[in-house]
Structure 1
Amino acid sequence: MADLLTIDDPDDPRLSDYTNLTDVELRRRREPAEGLFIAEGEKVIRRARRAGYEMRSMLLSAKWIDVMRDVIDEVPAPVYAVSPNLAERVTGYHVHRGALASMQRRPLPAAADLLAAAPGPQESQDRTVRRVAVFEDIVDHANLGAAFRNAAALGVDAVLLSPRCADPLYRRAVKVSMGAVFQVPWTRLNSWPQDLGLLRAAGFTTAALCLSDQAITLDELAARDDERLALIFGTEGDGLTAEALMGADEHVRIPMDAGVDSLNVAAASAVAFYATRARRP
C-alpha cells in the first residue's frame, strides 16, 4: 500500500518529477535521461499500469483520492496529496484532470526483434507483425500521440520512429494518445533511412506516403493486400526526405478533392491505416 502524504510546499524536493512540465526542452532532456515519464489523468495512469510500467509516485488533488483509491492501495510508490493551486505552481499549468503519475521507462526493444514477432494492439491469437507504421522526424507531440492512437485503433502491430522523432512518452503525446502509446509496441531506429533494410529483410513492402509523380493511389495499394506492409510518413510540412523516398518500394498518395494536396500527418495515418488494415483470421 502506498503512503499518502500531504504536501503544501511547492519547493518540496519530493515533487521534483512534476516540476516545470510545460518546459518542453527541459523535459525532453530530463525525462529520458532520468528514465521517467509523466502520465496525466485517471484513464492514462490506469493504462500505463496495465501495460506494466512501474510507478515512481503519484500526485493527486483531494477529489481524486477516492477515485484512485484502488491504485493507491495496490502500489508501493508514494502518493502526494496537494491542493489544485499547489499542483499548478509545481507543474506550471492548471492540472484540470487532477491526477498525475511519474512512471518508470523501460528499455526499448531492438527493431529487428520487434519486426520478428510482437503482440499487436488487439487481443488476438495472431501475433505476427503484418502492419507497421514508420514515422520520420515527426516533431509535434500532439501529432505523434494522435498517430499512435490511430495505430492502436486500426490494427497496426508496431511503430518505428526515426532518431529525430518526438518522444512518444512525453506528457502531451501520452495525453493525446489516451494511453495508446502503451498499447502499440514501438522502438526508435538507430540509423535512418538505412534501417529500411531491416524491413526489407523481414519481408515487408515499404510504402512511402507522398505526392511524387510516380505514386500509386492508396486504393491501389490496399487492393494488393500485401502480407507484410510498412507505411512510412514524413515530417510536418516538408514530408519525407529524398533519401527515404529513394529507399521505399512504393510511393503512395491519398486521392483528394477540392484542390487539397495533403492532410495533417495524423489524419493521413488514420486514412492509410484503415485502408490497408490486414485481413486477420
Structure 2
Amino acid sequence: MPEIVNPERILHIADLQDARLDEYLRLSEAHLRMRSDVENGLYIAESTTVVSRAINAGHVPRSFLLAEKHLDQLAQEFARFPDVPIFVGSDEQLQDLVGFHLHRGAMASMNRPEPLNLSEVLERSSRIAILEDIADHTNLGAIMRSASGLGVDAVLITPKCVDPWYRRSARVSMGTVFDLPWVRLTSWPQDINILKAHGYTMLAMELTEDAVSLAEVEMTEGKKFAMILGNEGRGVTEETLSLVDQAVLIPMHREVSSLNVGAASAIAFWELCSSTPK
C-alpha cells in the first residue's frame, strides 16, 4: 500500500454487517426510496470527483468507503479530515455492501449543511431556475450541471422534486450540485408570489396557446427572471401557469413537439443568462 495516509486510519472491511457501514448498506434505487437519509441529515457522495467537489464546497464527511486502488485520488481530502474513518474493501465487498457495481470506486457519507435562506438567495441573484416536480434523478443532475455551467445564479426546487444531493443526481451533475446554491420551496406554487415580491419576472417553459418563443423575451441586464421547468410527464401544472407572467417555448422543426427537460434546460439557461455578465 502506498504511504498516502497513516495505515492505522485504514479500516479494512472484515464484516459487511459492521454497524459502522450501515449508512452504505443497500444503496440501490429501490432501497434508497425506503430510507430517510434526508431526515437523518446525510447524503452519499459517489465517485472521487463528487466526493472531492463536495468537500471543496465546505461539506463535512462522516466516513469514506473505497477500493484501495483509489486511495491516492483522495489523499488531500483524507488529510483535511484526519479523524474521519476510511473503510477499504475489495470491489466484490463494495458491490455486496451497496448493492451495485461501484464503477467510480469511492463513496463518502456526508453531513448535510443547513438549508439556505430563500430570501437571501433571491436578493443576491438575478437568474433563477425553478424545477417543478422533476422525478428522474438523472434529469435533475443534468439540469443542475447545465444551470451551473451556463450561469444560473441559483435553483429552486418544489416540494415533490427529487433530491439534488441524491447520489445519482450528484454524480450526473459531476458534483456541480455542491457549487450551485439551491433551496427547496415549501409552498408551491404560492411561493411564486415571494419571487414576484423580489422583482422576478416569472417564465414557464410550456406549450400553451399564448406561449412565445424564448428568444423573443428581452432578458436585459438588470432585470430579474425566473424560469420554471416542469415534470417530465405532465409539464408545468395549470395552477402554476395561471400565476406566471409568460409561457415560453423552444421553436421546433420536423414535427418534433418538444425536447427532453434536460436538453430543454440547457437551451433555456443559455437564453436566460446570455445577457448577464460572467
Work out which of the residue numbers 165, 173, 176 in structure 1 matches 2:172. 176
Distance (whole Å) between structure 2 residues aligned to residue 47 and residue 164 of structure 1? 26
Query: What is aligned with 2:186?
Result: 190
- SS of the equivalent of 1:20 reads coil
Query: What is the identity percentage for the equivalent residue pairs of Structure 1 and Structure 2?
Result: 43
1:112 aligns with 2:119: yes
Q: Secondary structure at the match of 1:184?
A: coil
Q: Does 1:82 align with 2:96?
A: no
Residue identity opposite 1:216 in structure 2: V
**Number of the residue aligned with 1:280:** 277
In structure 2, the residue matched to 1:121 is none
Task: Give the structure 1 partner of residue 247 of structure 2.
Answer: 251
One-letter code of the match for 2:49?
Answer: K
SS at match of 2:129: strand
Whether the 8 Å CA contact 2:148–2:180 is kept in 1: the answer is yes
Assess if the C-alpha contact under 8 Å between 1:28 and 1:170 holds in 2.
no
Moved more, 66-75 or 186-195: 66-75
Structure 1 residues 223 and 182: alpha-carbon distance in aligned structure 2, compared to 1, 3 A threshold: closer
SS at match of 1:231: strand
Aligned CA distance change for structure 1 residues 44 and 34 (closer, same or farther; 3 Å): same
| Match status 1:260 vs 2:256 | yes
Q: CA deviation at 1:65?
A: 1.3
| Structure 2 residue identity aligned to 1:280 | P
Matches within 5 A, 1:1-281: 3-24=9-30, 26-27=32-33, 29-75=35-81, 76-117=83-124, 129-222=125-218, 227-277=223-273, 278-280=275-277
Q: Deviations over 1:26-66 (max 9, x none)?
A: 35642102111111111111100010000000001110112
Higher mean C-alpha deviation, range 219-228 or range 162-171: 219-228
CA positional deviation for 1:93: 0.3
Summarize the Cα distance change of 1:109–1:28 in structure 2 as closer, same or farther, 3 Å threshold. farther
Following superposition, the deviation at residue 130 of structure 1 comes to 1.1
Q: Closer, same or farther in 2 for the Cα pair 1:159/1:24, shift >3 Å?
A: farther
Q: Is the 8 A contact 1:222 1:276 kept in 2?
A: no
The alpha-carbon distance between structure 1 residues 8 and 234, as it changes in their structure 2 partners (threshold 3 A), is same
Aligned counterparts of 2:90 and 2:33: Cα–Cα separation in 1: 23
Deviation at 1:85, TM superposition (A): 0.6
The TM-score, its normalising length taken from structure 2, stands at: 0.93
The number of aligned residues is: 270
- 8 A Cα contact 2:219 2:225, kept in partner: no
**TM-score of the superposition, structure 1-length normalised?**
0.92
Between 144-153 and 73-82, report the one with greater CA deviation: 73-82
Aligned to 1:125: none
Alignment check: 8 A CA contact 1:55 1:103 kept: yes
- Tell me how far apart the structure 1 counterparts of residues 263 and 123 of structure 2 sit (CA, whole Å): 28
Structure 1 gaps, min length 5: 118-128
Aligned counterparts of 1:93 and 1:25: Cα–Cα separation in 2: 12
